[in-house]
Amino acid sequence: MELWFTEYTNKTSGITIKIKRQLDHRVSEFQTIDVFETHYYGNLMVIDGYIMLTEFDEFVYHENLTHVPAQFLQNPEKALIIGGGDGGTARELLKYPSIKKIDMIEIDREVCEVSKLYFKNLSVSFKDPRLNLHYEDGAKFVKNRTESYDLIVIDSTDPVGPGEVLFTEEFYNNCSKILKTGGILTAQTESPFDKEYINPIRQIYKNLRKSFNYVSMYLGHIPTYPFGTWSFAFASNWVDPLKSEIKNSYLPEGLRYYNRELGKSIFTLPNFVKEIIDE
């Protein structure tokens, strides 16, 4: 018998992956989590029917969310991750010896548990004493926080369900207040090829511009996400990535996506994408 998983990107298209076997299925307080072993993509994590990551291409997403901002900072010491329960974002940030402390705020403990079982390459980060895991609502956490961070990384699900609050004006404003001078925020912001997301993306960038002086978008190639092209937001009150130089003297070895030439030029966007976010 053949088993296939499909994420429907809309009513007439989707991404279909042949499955070897299902490794896990659980319904948490917040969402449904499935894990599959695939033939081509390694293990695959799905939340509420949406592909969260595969072992094959998770490096693109996690390196983009972290090294792109971290390379613009001289000595990032304190980072905040909102979401990121699989541990991939933390794994990348922990590659910097300058990082002394990461607070990671994941609403759903089950995501971390599943990662510990089936995504050991990502959940290795949970063993690092610099990582402090909090099972809390990220939006509430940033609202009540007074401690500040050099780097805030929003590693969320899509803006539907529990992830929705993580794209609002109020949330971004609270994040901006807890960035240290010179600090940078990055976030995943969906595919610019997705017609259903053009307006939401436009709104996300409008929301960001209300709280940050410099807001830019950059793109990455992620074959297992809808439309294969993914966008990320870079926001700061101090760093304009279009004018600023790479400041970090340290670059982790062995990265598979990020390099400094790419990190500087990645903000150059195709016309149809510029049109979505231009004011």
Write out the residues near ligand AG3 by the rule CB under 6 A.
Answer: 7, 50-53, 61, 84, 86, 88-89, 155, 157-158, 188, 225-226
Residue 214 · residue 239 · CB < 8 Å: yes
Annotation marks residue 155 as catalytic: yes
What is the SS3 string spanning 153-177? EEECCCCCHHHHHHHCHHHHHHHHH
Query: Whose Cβ is closer to ligand AG3: residue 142's or residue 187's?
Result: 187
β-bridge pairing 131-135 and 149-155: unpaired
Q: Are 116 and 33 in contact (CB under 8 A)?
A: no
Nearer to ligand AG3, 45 or 266 (CB): 45
Among the listed residues 108, 155, 158, 194, the single catalytic one is 155
Query: Minimum distance between the CB of residue 157 and ligand AG3, rounded to whole angstroms?
Result: 5
Which of 55, 150 has the CB closer to ligand AG3? 55
Closest approach of Cβ 226 to ligand AG3, in Å? 5
CB 207 within 8 A of CB 172: yes
List of residues 6+ apart from 206 with CB closer than 8 A: none
User: How far is it, in rounded angstroms, from Cα 78 to Cα 69?
Assistant: 13
Fill in the DSSP letter of residue 195. G
Distance of closest approach, residue 224 Cβ to ligand AG3, in angstroms: 8
C-beta nearest to ligand AG3: residue: 50
CB of 132 to ligand AG3, least distance (A): 18
Which residue has tokens 């609202």?
143
Q: In angstroms, give the least distance from the CB of 23 to ligand AG3.
A: 17
51 vs 239, which CB is nearer to ligand AG3? 51
Taking alpha carbons only, the member of 99, 100, 128, 123 closest to residue 113 is 123
Query: Nearest distance from residue 182's CB to ligand AG3, in Å?
Result: 26
For residue 184, give the nearest of 78, 59, 62, 58 by alpha carbon.
Answer: 78
Residue 72's identity, in one-letter code, is F
Q: What is the CA radius of gyration of the chain?
A: 18
Encoded tokens for 151: 């780097």
In terms of Cβ atoms closer than 10 Å to its own Cβ (0-12, 13-18, 19+), residue 261 is: exposed
What residues are labeled active site? 155
